[in-house]
Structure 1
Amino acid sequence: MGNFDEEWARIQADARERVARTRLDSAGDGQGSGARPGLGADWGAKRAAADHLDRETLPGVASAGERPVDSLTQAASRLAGWETARGLHTVLERWQAQVSALRGQLEVESNALRSTASDFQGLDAELGHRMRALNPSITDPE
């Protein structure tokens, strides 16, 4: 492991390299790079991701979350009267709270993906309608 000065010099060199690689879209001639192929929002993919969360991930989390419950409960009952039993109950309560929090967060993410997909689709349709109203020669790319 090098000394502080060597490490500091390497960190500074890495930072300079990152800055040199960074190019703002308006750099150069001021025209920007314009739209790139494939740049857009794929609302179908967002809905598919939400469906996957609902159909695969959430049930899997629920199932995995229940696996240790019986064994922890049984172990705690066998150790009744011992501090270990109380500790196992605490572990179980925290485990269930964490599983519940994870399921809640996954549901929030699923809802956010669906909402974002709907928002993007609606905005895309609205902008397309406005553009065609201004210039009827503009056609829908789909």
Structure 2
Amino acid sequence: MGFDEEWARIKADARDEIARTQLNSTSPAGGEQGELVVHSADISAIGVQADELATSLQEHGLVADNPTRVAGILLRTPGFETGRALTDVAEAWQSQVETLTEACLGIAGHLHHTVTDHAGGELENQAELVRARTSETVRHITGMA
């Protein structure tokens, strides 16, 4: 398949996908529109796992760092590129471990805030319903209804 044929196919697929995309303001065919559902226990469990993974990475992710760097230094003899390559690998590995650890901690933090914010929003909604019911009850009792 040539470039032009492949490009035409990709554009046609994109047009088909756009046609299937549904606007948020329209209801889905054959069913009710979905709602945001937050299962705090599930989200919290994922956050805990992300935090545990970050801790494990901090504890075990760089276990081979020092020996690898020492080997890299010892293998820097004339005619060998292995030493420099090992040092480069150790630096790249350290960077990747740090990036992954930060990402896991970020995910754990975001999930914790999601659960906390959602719970706070739910409490506000419940309080507003209680206020509305109380206000309606007071109006009914005092004859202002």
TM-score, normalisation: structure 1: 0.70
Give the equivalent residue in structure 2 for 1:130: 128
Residue identity matched to 1:115: H
Matched, 1:23 2:19: no
Residue ranges of structure 2 left out of the alignment (5+ in a row): 135-145
Matched, 1:78 2:77: no
Tell me the SS of whatever aligns to 2:64. helix
Identify if the C-alpha distance between structure 1 residues 134 and 106 changes in structure 2 by more than 3 Å, giving closer, same or farther.
Answer: same
Residue identity matched to 1:21: R
Q: Relative CO higher for 1 or 2, CA cutoff 8 Å, sep ≥ 6?
A: 1
Q: Deviations over 1:52-79 (max 9, x none)?
A: 1122x22443355224325413422432
Bigger drift between 109-118 and 63-72 goes to: 63-72
Q: Deviations over 1:72-109 (max 9, x none)?
A: 13422432545543443343233223212221221121
Bigger drift between 71-80 and 111-120 goes to: 71-80
Residue identity matched to 2:107: E
User: How many residues in Structure 1 have an aligned counterpart in Structure 2?
Assistant: 128
Identify if the C-alpha distance between structure 1 residues 135 and 11 changes in structure 2 by more than 3 Å, giving closer, same or farther.
Answer: farther
Q: 100, 104, 115: which is aligned to 2:98?
A: 100
Residue identity matched to 1:19: I
The separation in 1 between residues aligned to 2:75 and 2:25, in whole angstroms, is 68
Tell me the SS of whatever aligns to 1:66. coil
Residue identity matched to 1:58: A
Q: 43, 56, 60: which is aligned to 2:40?
A: 43
Give the equivalent residue in structure 2 for 1:139: none
Tell me the SS of whatever aligns to 1:97. helix
Measured after TM superposition, the shift of residue 35 of structure 1 is: 4.6
Percent identity of paired positions between Structure 1 and Structure 2 = 30
- Aligned CA RMSD, in angstroms, stands at 2.7
TM-score, normalisation: structure 2: 0.69
Identify if the C-alpha distance between structure 1 residues 25 and 89 changes in structure 2 by more than 3 Å, giving closer, same or farther.
Answer: closer
Larger radius of gyration: 2
